[in-house]
Chains A and B, each alone.
Chain A
Amino acid sequence: MATTMENSSSNNDTIVAIATPIVPQLGGVSIVRISGENAREIANEIFKPTGKRKDCFQSHVVLHGTIVNNNDGEVIDEVLLLPMLKPRSYTAEDVVEIHTHGGSVCAARVLDACLRTNACRLARNGEFTMRAFLNGRLDLSQAEAVHSLIRAETDEAAVQALKTLRGGLSNDVKEARRRMIDVLAELEARLDFDDEMVPLDVDKIAKEVDEAKEVALSALKTSQKNASLSVGCTLAIVGRPNAGKSRLLNRWTKSERSIVTDVEGTTRDVVEAAVNVSGVKVTLLDTAGIRGGSSRSSSNSSNSNGSSGSDDSNKEEETEIIDKVEAVGIERSKIAARGADLCAFVLDASRGWERADETVWREALDVAKNVIFVANKMDDITENASLIEEMKSDPSGKMKPFLTNQLRVPEYVLDKCNLNNVVFLSAKEGFGIEDLESKVSNAFESGLSSVEGDAYFVSSRQSEALKHAVEAMERVKESALNDLPVDFWTIDLREAAVALGEVTGEDVSEDILGTIFERFCIGK
């Protein structure tokens, strides 16, 4: 529920933005800041606290929990939530800060979840500071600084507009808007000049509304793709401890970002690194190895002798010391795996499919959307590179029997990945990485356009507008279904066009009139 308190600022929309610099891989924490009277309502909707009952925000008391997608309940990130209620906040309005994992991906997703509630809009440049000033939090000497912050938006917007002009998205937005204006002109011309025009073909208009919606929808998809382009796509590397995940990451990124040892459980947290796959930045998330479920996660690196132990579960039972840090890390891994665009499941081919793999799969991958099956440590099995080539050339005849018989990979796993998404490699020797890249690239293919990444700021504002437009178009359909007169359709159509016009900066009324007089022979 929204708190309804009087607001001294004339801008009483609730605004949201990523408050920390958007730099991939840098910074341990990113902050998404919401300010305005709906701030608590939004937090309530997307934040699930650990243990405690929700809706008990106390000012300046930190809560721990997860951010979930409000349509499907999907977990987005594990976060800390800091409510600062008015007037004791930076803007002197209700402020909720969500501290996400660092890097750009988590923050962007949380931001998106906030916007999805439709209770806030993306903040403009300097808007938090402006509100702070308007609400008396900053003194006069700071006014000039606020001015320049706001001016920066205009300059930046001009630069960004130029950039996006070259991209496809701007054209998509324009096309969607043009369609809406066309339909609107068709309808509104009849409201003003009915007796001079041929009767309205309602079915045709309904079809055009649908088409306009489709264009907006596809533009929205493009914009979301583009947003992921600029912040990159994410790939979570998942597998049982010591399957070679960190080595794979290091080989891929040619760095020593993850500490690689032969000891199980070396990676205690999610490690982020980026690679470039056919021009797209892919953020790799190296996750802690997952053992038999978070509650039972145990063991630590020093006393585990897991060089290549064959019976994980026994060892786990032996080890009573619970490494809480690691437990948290493993929990995060699961979240990362669920939230990533793509998962690479890493199997230690030298050991084949074991119960531990079974557990990991069940814990993390059942819900994953796209999975690439990576058979690592192939160098331990065969010196013969041609064997791999042979399997690749005959997936059903050679690859499948190898996987099921020799590596004991269950049928349902292969069903989920399908044989096209199986990669044989050796992280240690470095072969098969290119193959993996091409699978990753293929998997992203459908989700990628050839456009160079637009700045996140601009594209997310565009997707916000497109999203509003699509929703408005949905309501048009509803009006049509409910047999409401066509002039009611124009209410939502206009809203859709206005939303898009805010991106392109064009005035709707004038455009409709222009189109009407251009297209129809009317007037006395």
Chain B
Amino acid sequence: MMMSSSISSSTTQKHQQHTTRLLSSSLSSSSSSSSSGGFRRRLFLSDGSRRRKTNNNITTTLKASYPSSSVSSSSFVDTSDAENYDVIVVGAGHAGCEAALASARVGARTLLLTLSLDKIAWQPCNPAIGGPAKSQVVHEIDALGGSMGKIADKTYLQKRVLNSSRGPAVWALRAQTDKWEYSNAMREEVESNERVFIREGMVTELMVNSNDECVGVETHFGMQFHSKAVVLTTGTFMNGKIWVGRKTIDAGRAGEGSSVGLTEHLINLGFETDRLKTGTPARVDARTIDYTKCEEQKGDEDAKFFSFDPRNHLVIPQMSCYLTRTTLKTHEIIRQNLHETPTYGGWASSKGPRYCPSIEDKIVKFAEKESHQIFLEPEGRKAPEIYVQGFSTGLPERLQLELLRTLPGLENATMMRPAYAVEYDYLPAHQCTRDLQTKKIANLFFSGQINGTTGYEEAAGQGLVAGANAAAKALGTKPLILEREGSYLGTLIDDLVTKDLREPYRMLTSRSEYRLALRSDNADARLTPIGKECNLIDDERFKMFEDKRDTIENELARLKKFRLKESSPLVAAALEQSKNLGAGGKQSFTLEELLRRPGVTYDKFVEYKRDAGIDEIPRPLTKWEAECVEIRVKFAGFIQRQKVQIDRDLSKHGKEIPSEIDYKDIPMRLEAREKLEKVRPSTIGQASRVGGVTPADINSLLIHMEVLHREKEKAP
């Protein structure tokens, strides 16, 4: 069957018939050669040049003129049932693994395609999970049934709570992980899932039918895999290029080839792509470090956990990290060799992200600082590799060792891997909607670094959302949409699809305006019910969640009512704890009033458990539950204020914008119109966050929507 006849623009009806047939054939898995006719073929650019712009015309021409591709139909006929899936996930990094697992949890038969089976969930940079803002993301992933928190809880080398002296909204758990153990544990997790199928392969093309729906992928070696939805998680691999000094090599990570061909294919499909850059510092041999010259940094004795499921809480011996500092000599070498660095030598135009400055950047920008902190972090229990945090550099390899040896404790160190920078293709995420599906091609989802983010946690979170939505699309179940107001993940995705980001996006505490409400301790309360609705949470886990939730709520209610006389020993102890405040002339106190006093913790109630009536409740609270109760009592005023703010923002901004809206029809400023046309926000709230859009523009939009609405009502 010739494609050209069925797709000519005038024969719309025919076109649709064709599509229907195509879909039904792929659904019934009884593939025949005829159904391949709808796939777009790869466009080989005759001049071989990379295209950076979107190009719709070429695809159209391609669609219209390409024959039904008899070349590939033979391989297609040969494919058995085994090559048909509900969802295909491309890439098995942190985004890919969570995507495949989420997809499988929803119930989809899922294929996970990766360049190398041996590098699943690899941590090519710092092997650490969590930290400020990122830890909230990991808790949220766990609350939605994801695996990152669970794996980190099993494979940590060290755990610390950062910001512990601050408020509960910014407490941040950070785990140093064993990168081999982490990778193995995640591989086991994926392999043990009966709905996930893993396979090596380099995807170079997407199969897109004439309805602009993605229906599978094709690999470099000519394999075709069919599915109802595809998730792309390409990381740093699309046209990845590594730099050490002036030397460069095509690679996605050191020692691994890059993925070639897919970017060009995406450009031909009409996507906009761009380049980003990031880097990783050198690794040194632990056996050659003199730690006596460094400051030891131990883990927390009472380690906390990412996962809400206590079955994942594993107490294992911890390792120390060490702190050293740059010296005058370090600074001198760098100053003398600035011309050898890409930025100051002038051969790299693109700058790295602001939060990952190279050591030369730090020394040039903050010339007055005589010394900078450098952290030495183990990468594994058995391996001697030490990550030199804070020391990324664009200097050539021959200078790197000399530089490392200026650090106290590293005078005789040997280097195992040099620092390098990597450049890769990404697709600005305003091309996606909030479910991470692309606007151009239906059933195609993007997540992770391909969306312009950086960080394992950011990638994993997006992977989970994209995977869940790909499966929901394939199976016709409820999609997973996270509100900005309800989670860090929602904030992350909203920022990605709304803002025009031009540097790798990292989750930071200051990016969330609702952080008092979006705490680690309540991530399960915020998200587990949503996860349940989207089939991401099994019954056992949900029962566990309900038990915890009810215990907390019951205890909060009890604390409000339970009243003690001034003469009670518990009251005396609590007043003693907070004596600056005085008793306020009161004769009796509720437990809630006592707990609200500075310095009084729930532990006090446990200590005086008869007084506090703890003997009479069905079961004593766990440490985590007690913490939740304490936070909600102590910071009730602030939490309530933020809740009011969130409710207000939600009611004001929740209004949905019809997808068919044409911004050309709306009288508003040109800048606003262009930006809105590009982002095509789904709600009024999202529209108001688009850069360059004023409140007056939003009002114009509201009026236009009302006009549309009334016209629709008038014409039944």
- Chain A positions within 8 Å of B, measured between CB atoms, are 10-13, 124-127, 130, 133-134, 140, 143-144, 146-148, 150-151, 153-154, 157, 184, 188, 191-196, 482-488, 491, 494, 505, 507, 509, 512-513, 516-517, 521-524
Contact = CB atoms under 8 A, between A and B. Distances in A.
Given A10-B684, A483-B598, A196 B373 contact: yes
Contact of A154 (B126, B357, B373, B696): B696
B163 A487 contact: yes
Interface string B495-531: 0000000000000111101001000000000000000
B389 interface: yes
B696 A192 contact: no
Most A-side CB within 10 Å, residue of B281, B509, B513, B706: B706
Interface in B657-700: 667-669, 684, 691, 694-697, 699-700
Given A487-B167, A491-B638, A522-B355, A192 B699 contact: no
Contacts of A193: 132
A400 B596 CA distance: 63
Contacts of B655: 10
A491 B642 contact: yes
Given A10-B684, A130-B699, A524 B510 contact: no
B521 to A, nearest CB: 15
B695 A191 contact: no
B166 interface: yes
Interface stretch (B341-349, B362-370, B421-429): B362-370
Nearest to B134: A192
9 contacts: A151-B700, A192-B510, A194-B162, A195-B375, A482-B598, A484-B638, A491-B516, A513-B354, A523-B354
A124 B365 contact: no
B587 interface: no
B165 A192 contact: no
Contact of B356 (A140, A143, A485, A524): A524
Contact of B166 (A124, A134, A487): A487
Nearest to B512: A509
A512 B510 contact: yes
Given A12-B651, A151-B696, A488-B167, A191 B703 contact: no
A509 B389 contact: no
Contacts of A124: 695-696, 699
B50 interface: no
A151 B703 contact: no
A521 B500 CA distance: 25
Most A-side CB within 10 Å, residue of B165, B167, B365, B699: B699
Given A130-B703, A191-B166, A523 B355 contact: yes
A524 B352 CA distance: 11
A127 B699 CA distance: 8
B619 interface: no
Contacts of B170: 191, 487
A99 to B, nearest CB: 28
B247 interface: no
A125 B694 CA distance: 13
B691 A134 contact: no
A517 B355 contact: yes
A488 B638 contact: yes
A392 B317 CA distance: 90
Contact of B694 (A133, A134, A192, A505): A505
B668 A151 contact: yes
A192 B133 contact: yes
B632 to A, nearest CB: 15
Given A488-B167, A517-B355, A523-B357, A154 B703 contact: no
Interface residues of B, number: 58
Interface in B156-212: 162-163, 165-167, 169-170
B540 interface: no
A211 B651 CA distance: 36
Contacts of B702: 10-11, 130, 134
Nearest to A129: B703
Given A10-B655, A196-B373, A148 B667 contact: yes
A507 B511 CA distance: 11
A195 to B, nearest CB: 7
B125 to A, nearest CB: 9
A509 B691 CA distance: 12
A144 B704 CA distance: 9
B58 interface: no
Contact of A150 (B353, B389, B699, B707): B699
Given A124-B699, A133-B706, A192-B510, A521 B652 contact: no
B696 A524 contact: no
B691 A188 contact: no
Given A124-B695, A154-B694, A487-B170, 19 more contacts: A12-B651, A126-B699, A133-B706, A134-B703, A151-B667, A154-B669, A195-B162, A195-B375, A483-B598, A487-B166, A487-B169, A507-B691, A513-B354, A513-B508, A516-B510, A521-B372, A523-B354, A523-B357, A524-B355
Contacts of B668: 151
B710 interface: yes
A484 B170 CA distance: 13
A524 B642 contact: no
Given A140-B710, A505-B694, A150 B700 contact: yes
A126 B126 CA distance: 54
B390 interface: yes
Contact of A192 (B132, B353, B389, B710): B132
Q: Which 3 A-B pairs have the closest CB atoms?
A: A523-B355, A485-B167, A517-B354
B392 interface: yes
Interface in B617-663: 635, 638, 642, 651-655
A484 to B, nearest CB: 7
A485 B508 CA distance: 19
B279 to A, nearest CB: 10
A11 B695 CA distance: 11
A503 to B, nearest CB: 12
A507 B694 CA distance: 12
A141 to B, nearest CB: 11
A140 B635 CA distance: 49
Nearest to A148: B667
B163 A134 contact: no
A10 B651 contact: yes
Contacts of A157: 696
B509 A188 contact: yes
B547 interface: no
Given A124-B699, A192-B508, A140 B707 contact: yes
Interface in B433-468: none
B711 interface: yes
Contacts of B372: 521
B687 to A, nearest CB: 12
Interface string B362-394: 100110010011010000000000000110100
B390 A524 contact: yes
Contacts of A524: 126, 281, 355-356, 375, 389-390, 392
B596 to A, nearest CB: 11
Nearest to A517: B354
Contacts of B635: 488
Given A134-B703, A150-B696, A191 B362 contact: no
Contacts of B697: 154
A314 to B, nearest CB: 60
A12 B652 contact: yes
A483 B516 CA distance: 17
Contacts of A148: 667
Given A130-B702, A486-B166, A523-B357, A513 B696 contact: no
A13 B695 CA distance: 14
Contacts of B695: 124
B510 A509 contact: yes
Most B-side CB within 10 Å, residue of A486, A491, A513: A491
Nearest to A516: B510
Contacts of B691: 507
Given A130-B702, A134-B706, A191-B132, A485 B166 contact: yes
